[in-house]
Amino acid sequence: MDTKESEADESMKPQEFEKDESTTDPKREARLKTLTTMLETLTTQIASTESMLAEVTSKLQNNPSTTVKKHIDLLHAYNEIKDVGLGLMGLIAEARGCIHYTYEREYCGFIIRED
């Protein structure tokens, strides 16, 4: 490895700052204290949020993905039943010699679907 690559590697490493008492900047120290306080606050908030998540997750009856899959399966079953019902209504309308639209109006009082 040549010196340029080793210099680039060195610049990518985290730098360690040593306190030099002779060049202590009060603004830097205040900023460091503020950031440390913010870090502690955020760490506390993360722990609190994670415990709330664990509590809510433990109260769930089913896994959310299982619930979604069940609802999708129920919607598929509903659509199949609705399709059969609409097909039967079409057969009845044909047997009566009218169009599906007219039969829906007479039977239901409203239009189930518009083609």
Q: What is the pLDDT of residues 72-103, one digit of tens each?
A: 999 999 999 999 988 888 888 888 888 777 77
The confidence score (pLDDT) of residue 1 equals 47
Q: For residue 97, what is the enclosing H or E element?
A: none
The domain ranges of the chain are 27-59, 62-115
> Can you give the C-alpha Rg of the chain in angstroms?
35
- Higher per-residue pLDDT: 111 or 24: 24
- Record the pTM: 0.43
Whole-number Å distance between alpha carbons of 50 and 47 = 5
Output the six-digit token pair for 9. Answer: 């590697």
Q: What is the mean pLDDT of residues 4-33?
A: 64
Whole-number Å distance between alpha carbons of 28 and 35 = 10
- Is the CB of residue 100 less than 8 Å from the CB of residue 93? yes
Q: What is the pLDDT of residues 29-64, one digit of tens each?
A: 999 999 999 999 999 999 999 999 999 888 888 888
Tokens 């239009």: give the residue. 111
